[in-house]
Amino acid sequence: MNKHLLKLLILGLTLNSIGYADENTTSKIDIDISMKKSIVEDIINNQLPYTIEDSGSGNQIFNGNKNNLLGVGLDLLGAVDKKFSQFSESFIWAYKINRSPVNFSAQEQKVQAVTNIDGLFKASWSRNSQNTEITLNGTAGISSIISISPDWQINANSSPFLNISNDNLPLNLNLYGFNFKTDINIGDSLEKSIVSKLAQATKELDSKIQSFNLKELVEKYWLKFKEPILVNPEYNLWLTVDPTSARYSNLVTTESDLGIKVGTDVNLHLYFGDKPAPLNLTTLPSMNFGFVNDSFNIILPVSTSYKSLNEIINKNFNNKKIEIFSGVSSTIKNVNLSSKDSTLYATSEFDFSILGFLHPTGTVVAHLKPNFDQTTGTLTGNDFDYTLETNSFILKIANSIFKNKIINTVKTNYLSFNPASEIKLAQDYLQKKVENIELEKNVNLKSTIDTFKIVNLKIDDEFISATLDTTGKSTLEISQ
């Protein structure tokens, strides 16, 4: 563990608070799950080219469905002139359609990938050089409804669509002095050329989305939370994670990503010392549709017994030399902290060094009332005093002469601490740890910590605890 973070936690745990207005210790951890739009674009582009062309003869359009005047006329003419019986074969048609790049939009749980199309449809009857043409424009694409079931499965239901301004070709023909008018529907041909290709893309897209097993990924980490997590074995630092609920939001789109927000409420607790009892976790809570914020807010209580805290302090601060004033210093040994009635007691053995040649020893018992100013973020100790136990006559005399000065020096130099720089170091340390975590192949959790601060400090006769508040933003990125 970073030594500055350790210093911050220990100093924080030794001071009490004027009170934290919000006693709620439930953390809200909301994460964006994003997929690159290029994944969907590649699927569509592989199935649907930018230019679509097709051509054919009349029998592909008429297809024997001549239930109009033109059909009757063709049948009559065919009985008189066999050349006209081949009318449908001599009727030639062709079209060419261009499409634009895919554009995404999302509303609630529906997302659309849309491309604009425009082109030209031409038709002619080769016998009399009669011809006609119409312009084609409209949209085509894929519409998907994406949701997460209560059992954490991502469901995708996609379908292709095609909207054309004109799919009926108005045709005027003069056959042996007879004028015939009819509309030839070209929708079937367009369906085969465009929608059939998009239908294949929808299958691939749905398969791609549903192949991402969100439940398996989350449950793998979730059920590990049943056992307390050993964060740092050197200091016996344990984290317990107790998730209580889960929710997901509407779909969102950005310039490059398509995403959905997933959130959970969870109770976190960090302990110094003995391993906490396991939690009663069996499976994930149901996933429900609901409001999800854009960021996480982690409220993390940090607790320790005095036994555990004394072990940490003595491991890191035993034999630490403190300069009292010029010519007088003290080396601290065997610190023991305890508390009663909101007063913190500290007992420590010490060796004094007076003018470099006198080295009396003794025990000091100090007490103070800790205080935390939320406005300034300053930790202080009020009503500081101490008693001295020593067999040294010189030390007793020196203490009676210098006690007031010693108290004032300790108050000035050691009992007022603004941890802003330590907090910043701790925030930077944590940021590096959560910047980019690879959970699975092509699945990365990226986080940014915006704030990191102490919001509550509390002592009682058994435990000391501090509450840290961290806010930021996390995104689960699916790259392929």
In this structure, what token pair is assigned to residue 120?
Answer: 């030209």
Beta bridge partners of 93: 56, 123
Check residue 363 and give its pLDDT.
92
- Full pLDDT tens readout for the chain, 480 residues: 333 333 333 333 333 222 233 345 788 888 888 877 777 777 777 777 888 777 776 655 544 444 344 444 444 444 444 444 455 556 677 778 888 888 877 777 788 888 898 888 777 766 556 677 778 888 888 888 888 888 888 888 888 888 887 666 666 666 556 666 666 666 677 777 788 878 888 888 788 777 877 778 777 777 777 888 887 787 788 888 888 888 888 777 777 777 778 888 888 888 888 888 888 777 778 888 877 877 888 888 888 888 888 888 888 777 777 776 777 787 888 889 999 888 899 998 888 777 777 788 889 899 998 887 777 777 888 889 999 998 888 888 878 888 898 888 888 888 877 778 888 888 888 888 888 888 777 788 888 889 888 887 787 888 888 888 888 888 887 776
Hey, where are the domains in the chain? 38-57+91-172+181-210, 318-373+378-417
- What number of CA atoms fall less than 13 Å from residue 428's CA on the CB side? 8
Check residue 386 and give its pLDDT.
92
Q: How far apart are CA 214 and CA 158, in angstroms?
A: 19
Angle at 222 between CA 219 and CA 228, to 5 degrees: 150
User: How large is the angle between the packed helices 3-13 and 306-317, nearest 10 degrees?
Assistant: 140
Phi-psi region of 236 (alpha: psi -120 to 50; beta: other; left: phi over 0): left
User: How large is the angle between the packed helices 196-210 and 37-47, nearest 10 degrees?
Assistant: 150
pTM > 0.85: yes or no:
no
| Placement of tokens 């009926």 in the chain | 168
Residues 6+ apart with CB under 8 A from 338: 306, 344, 345, 347
CA 83 to mean position of chain CA atoms: 71
Check residue 53 and give its pLDDT.
78
Type of residue found at 258: L
Q: Which of 205, 32, 247, 33 is nearest to 113 (CA)?
A: 205
